[in-house]
Amino acid sequence: MSKESAKMFVKRMQEDKTFAGAVEKLSGKEERTAFIKREGFDFSKEDLADAASELNAVDVVGGTCCGFTCETDCGKYSGCFSNPA
């Protein structure tokens, strides 16, 4: 797991709308995590939180939530890792 991988993921989410849309459409945490790893990224939720903070990219997964960083307490965005409704 690496912060550098998390930074590359954040940048790709910001720059590649097709990729971001594919991530957002996945139905749950396990499915998203598997997809992200298949795409070559490997990072912890802490790595992603640090990367998003450094890059001023709080909105990585497209709602008010950025996925891993609020995985246990957010629930604000239906596409969130913690709230895959």
Q: What is the DSSP string of 8-60?
A: HHHHHHHH-HHHHHHHHH--SHHHHHHHHHHTT----HHHHHHHHHHTT---S
The reported pLDDT for the residue numbered 45 is: 85
pTM of the model: 0.67
Q: Could you give the 3-state DSSP secondary structure of residue 78? A: coil
Whether the per-residue pLDDT at 5 is higher than 90: the answer is yes
Whether the per-residue pLDDT at 79 is higher than 50: the answer is no
